[in-house]
Amino acid sequence: MNTDSKGSIKNVISSLARQFRANMQTYAITLALIGIWAFFTLMRPNYIAPRNFSNLFRQMAITSFLAAGMVLVIVTGNIDLSVGKLAGFVSVVVAKLQDDVWTQILPDQPILTTTISVLAGLATGALIGVLQGYIIAYWRIPSFIVTLAAMWMLDGAILLVTEGKTIAADQPALAVIAQAYLPDYVGWIIAALVVALLFFRMFSGRRKKRRYGFDLAPVYLDLLKTVLFAGLVVGYILMVNEYNGIQVLVLLLAIAVVVMTYVSNNTRFGRYAYAIGGNREAARLSGVNTGKNIFGVFVLMGFLCGVAGVAMASYVGYGTIAAGAGYELDAIASCIVGGTSTLGGVGTIFGAITGSLIITSLGTGLQILNVQAAWQKLVKGIVLILAVLVDVSFKKRR
Amino acid sequence: MNDETAVGNGIILDIQKVTKEFPGVTALKDVSIQIRRGEIHGICGENGAGKSTLVKILAGVYPWGDYEGTVIYEGQELKLERSAIRQATEEGIAIVYQELTLVPSMTVGENIFLGKEPVEGPGINWDKLYADTQQVLKKYNLDIQSQAVVGSLGVGKMQMTEIAKALSEDAKVLILDEPTSALADDEIEGLKEILRTLKSHGVTCIYITHKLEEFFGITDTITVLRDGKVVTTQPSEDLSVEKLVGYMVGREMTERFPKGNRKPGEVILEVEGIRAQDPEEAGREVVKGVSFNLRQGEILGIAGLMGSGRTELVMTIFGEYGKITEGTMRLEGREVRPKSSREAMLDGISLVPEDRKRHGLVLMQSVLKNISLPNLDQFASWFRIDNLAELNASLKFAKSLDIRAPSLHVPCDSLSGGNQQKVVISKWLMSKPKVLIMDDPTRGIDVGTKYEIYKLMNDLAEQGIAIIMISSELEEVLGMSDRVVVMHEGASAGTLDIADANEEKIMALATGVANGNDSGNAVGSIA
């Protein structure tokens, strides 16, 4: 398989063609995103201006946390309808702690109280993930039903916590999470670290491959790829530094995306999730503990709901009864637009985040064009169906 | 022969110089086959020889224009349009696929008329539907109840339903694509009987199978395909199984079962009187007292009729069936009772399941991911998988088992059945089993690859792995085993040493005519 004519041009081209076919979906959605950006920029040149560009990423962030977790949920053949309300519930819990509880128990300790509130929010999310996951994985009740029930119950819980009122969560220490920007030089340090890491990975990967005697792609190809990604990172930093700098929230999202991508590709947990979604029986007979894995996926989802909830409280600055309403469907739609199969077994974190970015880009673009809200919703629906249509036609051709 | 107006010549289907190419492969090259009206025409060939591609052209899966050459049907060129799946059926070409395409929860009648239910006003005319069903069943002598729920029928009757479904629209040509891969011997006889009835009604049949013996006594003509080309078309009476195998593989096949040099050693697994219940239905005992010993480096065959509990027995041993209610299992003298496949694996027991598509593989995933799935522990710490070590190890198995795939990154559903089976075997070999259970390891696999799998089994046994092989083909059991355990109604009816085993003795035990304890032929335990 790797003996003949190493690195000959023909081999390179055929391996490139194979990679291209395998990643067609990724290219398609990336192209769609660029197309959408190009269209709105043509209509309103300031669409792609630093300020708008920067805001775009912040606006997509909260659903993107949810979408990143939702990918694995859908990949295992499940669904989670409770994520919007769970994030909302976490946000009101955080707001309540900030506004009501700490002012009485621990006054004048903004950093400490915010830290505890955030941790409590994350724990709440994870704990509810544990409960739901346990019922779904071990009692074998369909996730659709369990999470639908949880959605209602969390809606009730939000009312109980807020007592129908709006709770302020505008403490400066909390606001840092979703509203602060990092100074330019921090942005450049991060960019330098990421670029260094990209190159390090490339070279250490090649060294390891050589040790096993595998075929190496020509060095210029690997270099080209790495330079391209490095260029994207640098470009992004250039762009946002033109405005206020990197947003803390976007940085957190980037970390979550990298971690989730790693988990889904490079850990047993991730691999098993895909195997379960692909063929649950075969996975079980291969010694995969399917219950444990699905349980884990829901705990992770719950934790990410916690992150999204904390971000939500910090972003909007208050906890309300409407918090998180409808976010679950946005998260699911992001996954689907990004190529996650509702039948399970297929889907990438990168795709879901791009999907989320596409949906957000459309929304802000249409707003800039002053399109009525009614038409915005119509367009959103059409895009979802279009995305799936393209996906289906790709699969047919294969 | 070169009469252009083929109808007068009695040719119903004239395939002329058909070529079908896929990127990188030519699936069919200049294939010309003439099918005479009313004959039963057998087509055989190894996996990848082009049989399925041919069927798909006739079914319209690859529509007219997707291939070169012409197909003349009833004197006219057959032009099936893209995405008009019912067009072939409407033209009178019906196909019974290898995999059953029935809805298990519906009745025989509902299945037969699915998509073409007789209507009366806004609703379905159920009386007419069942009356018409009866008529079809009666016409072709099919012994099934029109109101029976398909899921409750045996595989044989499901196949009949499938055929009835195909025939319900007055098919002139019926194509059977490996119809017998799931059937037991007596059911195959039933199928042959049905084909004879069809022939007497003037229906032309194209019969595709891996099991070459089946051709004889039923087909009139046989065409052999190899590498996408027609090797020969001859009247069946001029052919024999040996000749067919020769044509198929392009060389003389002197033996169907390779002679191994197995030297069974110490007893490794002792199974004593185990009983297990159906996990789906509490109280229903399916494994009803099975005892046997298994030695290192031995191939132990398990024979028995369909429903005799063979699969349930091995799944019980593998920890994936009902709970063991009685009896013991000892592996290397230590009592084991795996409660899941994982525990069985850790004990050193692996199982190649019967239904590789449903239970053996994650079809949409790559060869690599399938091979490594049960073995990730070997390459992974809690937070990372060493991808390169995984690839390296999988490549070794792919090479030594000669898995033919463009790369390890292609999805398993793009591989042929034989190669898929090799993937399943690889994944279990990587787990370094002491006992390898193989449930019908050559089901739906062509002759050439079967031979490779047999050789592989010999190699493994010679390396000291103890193999338990279930098979529904008696010849395979007799050709490959050192000893044979025969099952009858969930219990082991007896164990035969291969030296004194033959088809009659096995069948006698399997049907309960003889009893292992008093037949004298059976060896209760090993010496």
Q: Which residues of A touch B376 (CB under 8 A)?
A: 268, 271-272
**3-class DSSP assignment, residue B218:** coil
Residue in B closest to A214 by C-alpha: B392
Distance CA A301, CA A129 (A): 7
Closest CA to B330 of B483, B469, B435: B435
Check residue A40 and give its pLDDT: 93
Query: Measured between alpha carbons, how far is residue A288 from residues A279, A291, B429 in Å?
Result: 11, 9, 17
Residue A67 reports pLDDT greater than 50? yes
Q: Determine contact, residues B401/B456, Cβ cutoff 8 Å.
A: yes
Distance from CA of A281 to the nearest CA of B (A): 6
By DSSP bridging, strand B11-22 and strand B491-497 are unpaired
Percentage of residues of chain B with pLDDT beyond 70 = 92
Which one-letter amino acid corresponds to residue B215?
F
**DSSP assignment of B302-365, as one string?**
EE--TTSSHHHHHHHHTT-SSPEEEEEEEETTEE---SSHHHHHHHTEEEE-S-IIIII--TTS
Check residue B253 and give its pLDDT: 53
* Range A107-119 average pLDDT: 90
In this prediction, residue B83 has a pLDDT band, given cuts at 50, 70 and 90, of low
Check residue A2 and give its pLDDT: 41
Check residue B3 and give its pLDDT: 41
* Range B67-77 average pLDDT: 90
Q: pLDDT (tens digit, 9 = 90+) per residue, B442-487? A: 887 777 788 889 999 999 999 999 999 998 788 889 899 999 999 9
Please indicate whether, in this complex, the C-beta atoms of B351 and A285 are within 8 angstroms of each other. yes
For residue B364, give the nearest of A22, A268, A278 by CB distance.
Answer: A278
In this prediction, residue A6 has a pLDDT band, given cuts at 50, 70 and 90, of very low
Distance from CA of A170 to the nearest CA of B (A): 37
The DSSP code for A217 is -
Please indicate whether, in this complex, the C-beta atoms of A289 and B359 are within 8 angstroms of each other. no
Distance CA B50, CA A35 (A): 43
- Exposed e or buried b per residue across B386-408, where buried means at least 16 C-beta atoms within 10 angstroms of its C-beta: bbeebbbbbbebbeebebebeeb
Residue B490 reports pLDDT greater than 60? yes
User: Residue A18 has which token pair?
Assistant: 């194979």
Among the residue ranges A17-31, B9-23, B263-277, the one predicted with the least confidence is: A17-31
Q: Which residues of B touch A209 (CB under 8 A)?
A: 388
Please indicate whether, in this complex, the C-beta atoms of A268 and B361 are within 8 angstroms of each other. no
User: Residue A127 has which token pair?
Assistant: 């704990």
Q: Which residues of B touch A281 (CB under 8 A)?
A: 358-359
Check residue A8 and give its pLDDT: 65
Distance CA A54, CA A239 (A): 8
* Range B361-371 average pLDDT: 95
The mean pLDDT value of chain B amounts to 85
Distance CA B203, CA A90 (A): 69
Distance CA A329, CA A345 (A): 20
Q: Which residues of B touch A278 (CB under 8 A)?
A: 362-365
Q: Which residues of B touch A274 (CB under 8 A)?
A: 362, 365, 369
Q: Determine contact, residues B370/B423, Cβ cutoff 8 Å.
A: yes
**3-class DSSP assignment, residue B119:** strand
* Range B247-267 average pLDDT: 78
Distance CA A207, CA A216 (A): 9
User: In this predicted model, which residue has the larger pLDDT, A109 or B385?
Assistant: B385
Chain position carrying tokens 């955080």: A94
Residue A150 reports pLDDT greater than 70? yes
Check residue A152 and give its pLDDT: 96
Distance CA B355, CA B379 (A): 28
Most confidently predicted of A228-242, B23-37, B201-215, B505-519: A228-242
Distance CA B309, CA B305 (A): 9
**Exposed / middle / buried, residue B7 (Cβ in 10 Å: 0-12, 13-18, 19+):** middle
Q: Determine contact, residues B495/B524, Cβ cutoff 8 Å.
A: yes
Q: Determine contact, residues B514/B505, Cβ cutoff 8 Å.
A: yes
For residue A285, give the nearest of B341, B376, B384 by CB distance.
Answer: B341
* Range A163-177 average pLDDT: 90
Check residue B2 and give its pLDDT: 42
Chain A residues touching chain B at CB-CB below 8 Å: 1, 18, 22, 208-209, 212, 214, 266-268, 271-272, 274-275, 278-279, 281-289, 345-346
Q: Which CATH number, 3.40.50.300, 3.40.50.12780, 3.30.300.30, 2.130.10.10, labels domain B255-348+433-527? A: 3.40.50.300
User: Could you give the residue ranges of the DSSP H alpha helices within B75-229?
Assistant: 87-91, 108-112, 126-139, 155-167, 185-200
Residue B81 reports pLDDT greater than 60? yes
For residue A282, give the nearest of B345, B360, B380 by CB distance.
Answer: B360
Residue in A20, A269, A286, A292 to test binding to B, most B beta-carbons within 10 Å: A286
Residue B148, by phi and psi: left (phi above 0), alpha (psi -120 to 50) or beta? beta
Closest CA to B454 of B469, B464, B466: B469
Most confidently predicted of A184-188, B41-45, B379-383: A184-188
Please indicate whether, in this complex, the C-beta atoms of B342 and A289 are within 8 angstroms of each other. yes
Closest CA to B377 of B412, B331, B342, B426: B342
Residue B122 has a CB neighbour count (10 Å cut-off) of 5
Q: Please compute, for residue B133, the number of CA atoms within 13 A of its CA located in the half-sphere on the CB side.
A: 27
Distance from CA of B378 to the nearest CA of A (A): 11
Residue B432 reports pLDDT greater than 60? yes
**3-class DSSP assignment, residue B15:** strand
Residue B522 reports pLDDT greater than 70? no
User: What does the domain layout of chain B look like in residue ranges?
Assistant: 255-348+433-527, 360-432
Distance CA B510, CA B488 (A): 5
Q: pLDDT (tens digit, 9 = 90+) per residue, A116-142? A: 999 999 999 999 999 999 999 999 999
For residue B376, give the nearest of A209, A271, A346 by CB distance.
Answer: A271
For residue B369, give the nearest of A18, A271, A288 by CB distance.
Answer: A271
ipTM of predicted complex: 0.86
In this prediction, residue B309 has a pLDDT band, given cuts at 50, 70 and 90, of confident
Distance CA B509, CA B333 (A): 29
Query: Measured between alpha carbons, how far is residue A58 from residues A65, A191, B162 in Å?
Result: 12, 18, 57
User: In this predicted model, which residue has the larger pLDDT, A23 or B141?
Assistant: B141
**DSSP assignment of B418-487, as one string?**
HHHHHHHHHHHHTT--SEEEEESTTTT--HHHHHHHHHHHHHHHHTT-EEEEE-S-HHHHHHH-SEEEEE
User: In this predicted model, which residue has the larger pLDDT, A26 or B440?
Assistant: B440
The DSSP code for B376 is G
Distance CA B93, CA B91 (A): 6
pTM of the complete model:
0.80
The DSSP code for B81 is P
| List of long-range contacts for A255-258, beta carbons under 8 Å, 24+ apart | A256/A65, A256/A68, A256/A304, A256/A307, A257/A64, A257/A68, A257/A349, A257/A350, A257/A353
* Range B158-166 average pLDDT: 86
Q: Which residues of A touch B389 (CB under 8 A)?
A: 212
Q: Which residues of A touch B398 (CB under 8 A)?
A: 1
